[in-house]
Amino acid sequence: MEIPITSIAVCLPAGFVHSLRTPLGALTSALEVAQMPVDEEMRNSAQAIARRQALRLGDLVSELEAYCHLQRMVEEGDEPTLLPADLAPLVMQLWARAASAVERAAEQPELPAGLLVLVQPELLRPALSVLVHHAVVHGLQLEGEACGDWVELRAGFPDTAPAFEAGDEPFDGGPLELARRTALLCGGTLQVQRGADRALPFCLRLQAASLFMQNAEGLW
């Protein structure tokens, strides 16, 4: 049986896109700086930020590896040290620790405020992956912030890039349609900005707490 990938995507507005992908049952991790500033000093700073992020998420990766071992025991019918029903709060705690690590990193003056997006494996990950793809390949600008129980993700091309409309991209309707579909899948809302300001044309509003529960229920 193919086990879906759970992604943690950290989108930073200053041109950085970091991602940590963890396939359940066969965990691997990757944390990369997808776009580097031209300025050499900023480039070195970005590399240092990436190294710190990798270190701070390292403990989380180790704990997720232990969780995946327990999950495999459950799937294979072995006697686990934790019952499946006990795993949900454990995973939610791990996600919370990851969010806390990102928040602490965001307090550093050289690092812009970041966003932790927790993605439901089978539904949301492909959509968010395409948005991150746009950010890397087409210079898509991503900004986000946590607002209580909600996470807001604002995306669009920077002023220096050409404006886009639904259907301009070969992703089954374009990025605007992709954003609508993502909002529908996660039970969130989509706001589209019209008029002259096209820097951030749409905003996704995701209910973080419901994503946690969907992740837990979907895995077990």
d(CA 38, CA 40): 6
* Residue 154 pLDDT class (50, 70, 90 cuts): low
Give the model's pLDDT for residue 82.
38
For residue 77, name the pLDDT band (cuts at 50, 70, 90): low
Q: pLDDT for 2-34, tens place per residue?
A: 222 233 333 322 222 233 232 222 222 222 222
Per-residue pLDDT tens digits for 111-136: 332 233 333 233 233 344 444 444 43
Q: What per-residue confidence (pLDDT) applies to 19?
A: 31
Pairing of strands 141-147, 116-118: unpaired
Least confident of 66-70, 82-86, 92-96, 149-153: 82-86
Q: What is d(CA 70, CA 191) in angstroms, rounded to the nearest whole number?
A: 41
Of residues 178 and 134, the one with the higher pLDDT is: 178
Does residue 181 carry a pLDDT above 50? Answer: yes
Spell out the domain ranges in the chain: 5-219
Please give the pLDDT value at position 79.
42
The mean pLDDT value of the chain amounts to 41
**What span, in angstroms and rounded, lies between the C-alpha atoms of 43 and 63?**
31
**Local structure of residue 38 (DSSP, 8 states):** S
pLDDT at 219: 25
Strand ranges inside 50-195, DSSP E: 116-118, 141-147, 150-156, 189-192
- Alpha carbons 18 and 167: distance in angstroms, whole number: 27
Nearest to 154 by CA among 11, 33, 36, 15: 11
DSSP 76-110: TT---SS-HHHHHHHHHHHHHHHHHHHHHHHTSTT
Strands of the sheet with 16-23, listed across from one edge = 16-23, 5-12, 116-118
Find, among 29, 209, 11, the residue nearest to 102 by Cα.
11
Structure tokens at 85: 């029903």
The pLDDT, as a whole number, for residue 24 is 24
Label residue 192 by pLDDT band (50, 70, 90): low
Euclidean distance between CA atoms 214 and 216, whole angstroms: 5
Going from the C-alpha of 206 to that of each of 1, 15, 27, 157, 190, the distances in angstroms are 29, 22, 26, 21, 9
More confident residue, 105 or 20: 105
Rounded Cα distance, 211 and 220, in Å: 15
204, pLDDT greater than 50: yes
